[in-house]
Amino acid sequence: MSTAAVCRAFLGSCRAMAGVFPSLDAVRDWFAAKDRCHRFEVRQVPLAGLDQWSYAPGPLRLVHRTGRFFSIEGIRVETDFGPAPTWDQPIINQPEVGILGLLAREIDGVLHFLMQAKMEPGNVNILQLSPTVQATHSNYSRVHQGSTPRYLEYFTEPGLARVLLDQLQPEQGARFLRKRNRNMVVAVDGPVPMHEDFCWLTLGQIKALLAHDNIVNMDARTVVSLIPLADPDEPPNYGLVDGVTGFGLDIYLSFCRSDKERHTMDRLMAWLTDGKARHAMHVSPLPLDALRGWMVTDTDIRHESGLYFSVIGVDVAAKTRESTRWSQPLLHHKGEGLVGFLCQRHGGVLHFLVRGSLEPGNRDGMEIGPTVACSEVAARSRRAGAPRFLKQFLDPGDLVVRYDAVQSEEGGRFHHFQNRYMVVELPPGKHLDLPGHFIWMTLGQLWRMARHGHVSIEARNLMACLGLLETLP
């Protein structure tokens, strides 16, 4: 299947608001029914009360008895980039590559994606829609002979499905140490066995759900962000977007090949290379109890200022058919963050303002981030040194808000970690003074960069939210 044909199938699915479910309301009814019968009790417990988890010495860190899953470790960060030259923090170390996979199938001429209603202990609302598969490496390498996640074989066994995309993508560099996951979309031609917690959605339905708070989970968003709505090598095909207007049409055109791009790909690569070479972030391991400013107790790990995040314990009772119970640490986030893209038409083509982003957990130095990614907005917007361009999101004035919804980060590692995601459009011609670590890119360019793992998860999450609808529901 050619790239152009695959992209046409993606675009067609994005235009389809009806599919196996005849309407978005039908999807929401199905999800609400699932939500009513979920049985998940999450209770905060002291870290010392966690089953199987404990502090281990040399250097002090929080680990599972088996050494599996992940650990919480301490790091010291030193850098010449950004306002803070040094800080200490706990970070999640999970040195393995998982699979986040979407299974796709054409049904009645429209590509559908198999989504799962999945409970995760850290979500404010427990149940959200996840991709078909979220598997750790031990799941799919079958190191341990446990049950494997449903549908995993379509992603791991050659020949069962056609691979439409398979990319290594970074996770949050501020919270995960060098973590990446495979993001995959694979397609089957025939039916697959169905399970009650799974449903087939069109890309248009998924994008429409993304306009609502906390329905589509982070793992789904990162995979969806990599699905192109057009082949960036091809000029626009207006026949394919007949009836698409306004900002939705701008999104499509920004994916397409254009001679109106503000910068060439070579210029953008040079900008990124310069950022990577110019700025360094040195990360050295430290025992948790040696971290400056952090208090490590039997209850939790938290910063003495009350800011940033804390590591807490939760006890989870899942009353599914196989009644299971476990406890684990989660990173609790008290305040809400803000992740935003400024966009603007240049030469008639929509461009997005990206920012070089250097975080301690990044595998390869600077990544391409959104215009703004700011934790605890309420606290930080009041202080001096608030992030550049934050005010355009907090007080857009006459700018046009194109997207605005609250989404949760990974509920298997984070507790109540929510960010407000926004896309705000500047009028054409309105000038912004850009510091050197900001640059304009089209969506096609951003997608090409993302394909090679250069784009941060915050920026990808926003890319996922961009669809073809003119207005917010």
Q: Give me the residues that bind its own copies (CB under 8 A), please.
A: 2-3, 6, 97, 163-168, 182, 184, 233, 257, 259, 264-267, 269-270, 273-274, 276-277, 363-364, 451-452, 454
Q: How far is the CB of 363 from its own copies (least distance, A)?
A: 7
Nearer to its own copies, 155 or 309 (CB): 155
Q: How far is the CB of 423 from its own copies (least distance, A)?
A: 26
Phi and psi at 56, nearest 5°, equal -120, 140
Closest to 354 (Cα-Cα) out of 221, 263, 287? 263
Nearer to its own copies, 418 or 442 (CB): 442
Query: What is the spatial distance between Cα 179 and Cα 259, in angstroms, rounded to a whole number?
Result: 36
Nearer to its own copies, 64 or 451 (CB): 451
In the three-class reduction of DSSP (H, G, I as helix; E, B as strand; rest coil), residue 28 is classed as helix
Q: How far is the CB of 226 from its own copies (least distance, A)?
A: 10
Q: How far is the CB of 325 from its own copies (least distance, A)?
A: 32
Nearer to its own copies, 29 or 364 (CB): 364
Nearer to its own copies, 267 or 325 (CB): 267
Nearer to its own copies, 21 or 271 (CB): 271
Query: What is the spatial distance between Cα 290 and Cα 177, in angstroms, rounded to a whole number?
Result: 18
Query: What is the spatial distance between Cα 397 and Cα 393, in angstroms, rounded to a whole number?
Result: 9
Phi and psi at 470, nearest 5°, equal -70, -45
H helix or E strand, kind and range, residue 41: strand 40-45
Q: How far is the CB of 438 from its own copies (least distance, A)?
A: 15
Nearer to its own copies, 183 or 392 (CB): 183
Q: How far is the CB of 451 from its own copies (least distance, A)?
A: 6
Q: How far is CA 176 from CA 196, 222, 361, in A?
A: 33, 16, 6
Q: How far is the CB of 323 from its own copies (least distance, A)?
A: 34
Strand boundaries in 322-443, DSSP class E: 324-332, 337-346, 349-357, 367-369, 372-374, 400-408, 414-415, 418-426, 438-442
In the three-class reduction of DSSP (H, G, I as helix; E, B as strand; rest coil), residue 127 is classed as strand
